[in-house]
Chains A and B, each alone.
Chain A
């Protein structure tokens, strides 16, 4: 059905003819009849990666296929969302090996974006935990691939934004947990130097991430709250929690009811928000036991929080810089605070090593922040791109809606290899998105 679609940033929006399927033979028929399409899950990437004139939605292809409770191996169709996976596995003492900051993404999307979480420095990205998966190619053939079987297809599909084919089934390993709670430690850092030092000091923690105030200047430049966590052991729980150690969190959700007018977000309101957020922790260090929900998915509690950025939408800018490029991080933060364009959510995290051809993570610092779409923004981001490249960094395609093709080329040294694999499995670019065309991944 033709409808108006956009991803989470609400920018860009376009009309697309969306097809859904429940059974394999239906998918086969749709693929044969459709040209120029991109697979689409829950639309939780931010930019234009899953936008195209034709989209094939996996949302109705969402069955759980098997769950080995002994060994923690889960198998499902690609349209299943992570919140549904959690509902099945948490009560049995298992957790997602890697989870991004929202549980409302599909398994197919997790693979297409090769998502990372707060534990990247310990556990890598989502694709590191895949046993095998099925990919339906542009010609309708289905291929089962894994790190050892059709390895080129596997490698280019993890993080490949759906361009090699449509992931239809995946089997992945889970992480054993004793409770559904997280032992959380929050430490306030008065500036960027300190938070970088703290990341290093606490690198043995499984989960770590920092919220950073991009608008603060002077000696508090880069003040942050570092948030660390471990899955809580049973003995760390109080008696009440012990009784229901593997309980799913109760659903408490509110909905952002309408698009905020875009003038509401300005440097004054964002500064006020940041001040409140930073000051809510009165002590230097705070230790507590929390449910996994607020720890991993604080924003999922507010449905449609993206409306807070108004009708014009926003772009999320996420880049990674090598560890030694601390100066680059300082320079980018300085430009943002000078421009006064910061957002509520600037998130800093340290990635560990990763060897893959098209996945975003590589060892270094990654910073993600939102910018409401307004005039002058894209020119400003082009300037930031130059700094990112100068220091050997790159951008995340899942967040992107505007980078120039040369930024992609410079950031991803194995891009040619990726393109040749895409060409092998999707020879005439039948599978394409407006992003892949913009970045010349499916168009020459």
Chain B
């Protein structure tokens, strides 16, 4: 039975991903900061799918602990899915560097730290698969997602580079770019129905991308075209826009 490691397992998207793989007979390793919060999901997965599901303490910002964390996993995961991320108030983050720093470190630095370790291990084994949940917000820098968008842009570039680097070792890297998703993060926002995915749709996209070894996947197909347009607006025009 292959094993999937879910990093940042307390988010709505992560929970849906864990359930999707569990339903398809993968053993699950749930990793997150608040292990107490993960216990109900662990029992749910265990009872529903009768598979092994373990809980592991993991803090994306505690970089120095990442090596020991990954080394302690038994069995070693066949697939590593990096779901954690953070979106804080952008106005506040512009004033308060602590907040900006946290967003950058959670969305980018922490991800690089743990995925470098996973990538190195998979390279040595000549097998393995990495999935990163990035965002369409990283496709082009804009004022309303100044820090979050730039951190996700860096993460997207990292995933693309990693895909290139690991190709020769037969390691595949999947980049997932959800648009709007109905989660805790977006609960107070009025989102356009057609462009907004349920966490379970993101989970299905991740699962299918893994099975078919897709490179970059947009959840909800319209986003690919929306972002194509947004990327192609000339900068002299774009900079005047209120996006």
Residues of chain A touching chain B, judged by Cβ–Cβ distance below 8 Å, are 1, 19-20, 22-23, 25, 60, 63-67, 77, 87-88
Contact = CB atoms under 8 A, between A and B. Distances in A.
Contacts of B12: 22, 60
Given A1-B187, A1-B188, A23 B44 contact: no
A87 B19 CA distance: 15
B168 interface: no
B109 interface: no
B48 A88 contact: yes
B187 A23 contact: no
Interface in B33-52: 34, 37, 40-41, 43-44, 47-48
B86 to A, nearest CB: 17
11 contacts: A1-B189, A20-B187, A22-B10, A22-B15, A22-B37, A22-B184, A63-B44, A64-B47, A64-B48, A87-B48, A88-B48
B44 A65 contact: yes
A64 B190 CA distance: 30
B10 A64 contact: no
Contact of B41 (A20, A63, A67, A88): A63
A66 B43 contact: yes
Contacts of A64: 43-44, 47-48
Contacts of B187: 1, 19-20
A430 B43 CA distance: 33
A194 B187 CA distance: 55
A1 B34 CA distance: 26
Contacts of A22: 10, 12, 15, 37, 184
Contacts of A65: 40, 43-44, 47
Contacts of B40: 63, 65, 77
Contacts of A87: 48
Given A1-B188, A65-B47, 14 more contacts: A1-B189, A20-B187, A22-B10, A22-B184, A23-B10, A23-B34, A60-B12, A63-B40, A63-B41, A63-B43, A63-B44, A67-B47, A87-B48, A88-B48
A278 to B, nearest CB: 42
A66 B47 contact: yes
Nearest to B38: A23
Interface string B41-65: 1011001100000000000000000
Which of B12, B47, B184, B188 has most A Cβ within 10 Å?
A: B47
A1 B196 CA distance: 15
Interface string B8-27: 00101001000000000000
B43 A23 contact: no
Contacts of B37: 22-23, 25
A66 B10 CA distance: 20
Contacts of B34: 23
B183 to A, nearest CB: 10
A77 B190 CA distance: 28
Interface string B188-227: 1110000000000000000000000000000000000000
